[in-house]
Structure 1
Amino acid sequence: MTTQKPSAKARRSAARLAAVQALYQLEQSGTPLDKVIAEFVHHRFGEEVEGEAMVEPDAPLFGDIVRGTRLRSEEVDALVTGALDSQFSLARLDLLLRCVMQAGAWELLANLHVPAPIVISEYVNVTRAFFGGKEPAMVNAVLDRIARERRPDEPRAG
């Protein structure tokens, strides 16, 4: 039996999911940034869950997202706040939902070689992994507003 190597796309998707989890852990625990990143890379990547081997995340992308989101947190938070509907505030969002939006906003801001529709789709999928309600649509709307502001000349999906 041969083991197929995960695609680069699957590894990038896994990196985004892991980055959101790491951002959540950073918010919850107050553990230093580099310690959380090292813990994920050395102890969580390649884990088995319920007997299934998880896709090994793209470690450089994971580190870029987590570091970038934290190091540019004021700018990222301002983008998310500006894109939220008026009845919502960043502070009142569910922490995990906030982490998804922050990571997506950072990628739209800094990871310019990835088209906005792909970034948005990836974080909508991350949201679906945790939420079953209207949250994926909310993430889509917020990240789309950020993309329209930060990347006005880039073509849109659909």
Structure 2
Amino acid sequence: MSDDRKPTLAEKRQMKSAARLYAVQALFQMEAAGQTVDKVAREFENFRFGAVYDEDEMAEGDTGLFRKTVEDAVNWQAKIDQMTDRALVAKWPIDRIDPVLRALFRAAGAELLTQGTPPKVVITEFVDIARAFFPDGKEPKFVNAVLDHMAREARPEAF
């Protein structure tokens, strides 16, 4: 936000949603380009959050949520990938799925494992991100099913 006022509740929600989207993009970029967490996080924070490209303004993101999600996804990647593998159908391990979905599952898994966000919120937010990347496909339903399984494993007390 460019002014000094505090963001409204709706703006805070939008910033959290943007942070989740940016986390998926950052994790994808890290894997595709072999870049480090620090390098990618700095790039996103300095050049993407709130940037304007050809008159399109990128949303401001919640920097704290973005950083925590990306760092936790990297630090907990083995456990998250195991949870994802258990949620996927047999013979389709995480390394065989679309890299965007892999990044999405890692970001969502990090939030499920390390943050207090209610699982239903995590699922809804990341299904919305899947819709943004795959607007005409079956992937959002697939993401919903996988994340529901992961959430029940990570946070069974919430169900």
Normalization by structure 2: what TM-score?
Answer: 0.90
Deviation at 1:85, TM superposition (A): 1.6
Unaligned residue ranges in structure 2 (runs of 5+): none
Q: Which residue of 2 aligns with 1:99?
A: 103
> For 1:75-112, what per-residue CA distance to the aligned partner results, in whole angstroms no more than 9, with x for missing partners?
1111111111225221110101111111111111111x
1:153 corresponds to: 157
Out of 104, 121, 124, the residue aligned to residue 121 of structure 1 is 124
State the secondary structure of the residue aligned to 2:156: coil
Deviation at 1:50, TM superposition (A): 4.3
Separation in structure 2 between the aligned mates of residue 106 and residue 55 of structure 1, nearest angstrom: 22
Gaps of 5+ in 1: none
Corresponding position: 1:57 with 2:36: no
Structure 1's consecutive aligned runs of 4 or more residues displaced over 3 angstroms after TM superposition are 3-6
| 1:19 partnered with 2:23 | yes
Does the aligned pair in 1 maintain the 2:48–2:58 contact within 8 Å?
no
* Alignment size in residue pairs: 152
Q: 1:114 to 1:86 in 2, by over 3 A?
A: same
State yes or no: 1:109 paired with 2:113.
Answer: yes
Counterparts of 1:27-106 in structure 2, within 5 Å, are 27-106=31-110
- Partners of 1:25 and 1:149 in 2: CA distance: 28
User: Identity of paired residues, percent?
Assistant: 41
Q: Distance in 2 between matches of 1:52 and 1:34?
A: 26
48-57 or 123-132: bigger deviation = 48-57
**Which structure 2 residues correspond to residues 122-141 of structure 1 after superposition, within 5 A?**
122-131=125-134, 132-141=136-145
